[in-house]
Amino acid sequence: MLELNELQEKLLNNFQKQFPILPKPYANIADRLGITEAEVLKILGELQTNGVISRIGPVFQPHSLGVSTLAAMAIPESNLEKIASYISSLQEVNHNYEREHNFNLWFVITTTTEENLQAILTKIEQHTEFKVLSLPMLVGYHIDLGFKLDY
């Protein structure tokens, strides 16, 4: 695990929520941290390259913009990295992770219509030759995905 410096932790702590919705959000963040926009972008790029963060983007209420499903697959360890990489390359997949379970690869697909969702699930099965278990949300719960870093 990469040890974060104080500036990296401030950047991650202070902007997980209430990200500035402005034409130049990173310039606004830079002003608030007392650094340049280029420095903010460089730090975020390094954090992503080092696997500290996977992406920067909004989290929308489920089904407010299209349809989504939680999906799981049981993938042999020897195929896991290759298939996880393929799943992550799909623009409709907004996160993908491994679990210690028979169903060891989990991901969320979000797209415009139910028909498109089914087409993506079929495409994944055809490409990987493994079955996808689709687990659409029946009841919604709000989970705060932010977390405080100590520095």
Kindly report, residue by residue over 28-84, the tens digit of the pLDDT: 999 999 999 999 999 999 998 888 887 787 766 666 678 999 999 999 999 999 999
Phi/psi at 43 (5° precision): -60, -45
Q: What is the mean pLDDT of the chain?
A: 88
d(CA 32, CA 96): 32
Cα torsion at 37, 50, 97, 99 (round to 10°)? -140
CA distances from 101 to 75, 104, 106, 127, 133 (A): 10, 5, 10, 22, 14
Residue 147 CB neighbours (<10 A): 8
Residue 147 is predicted with a pLDDT of 66
Q: What CATH number should be reported for the domain whose range is 6-49?
A: 1.10.10.2890
67-135 belongs to which CATH class?
A: alpha beta
Residue ranges of the chain that CATH labels 1.10.10.2890: 6-49
Residue 151 is predicted with a pLDDT of 47
Residue ranges of the chain that CATH labels 3.30.70.3460: 67-135
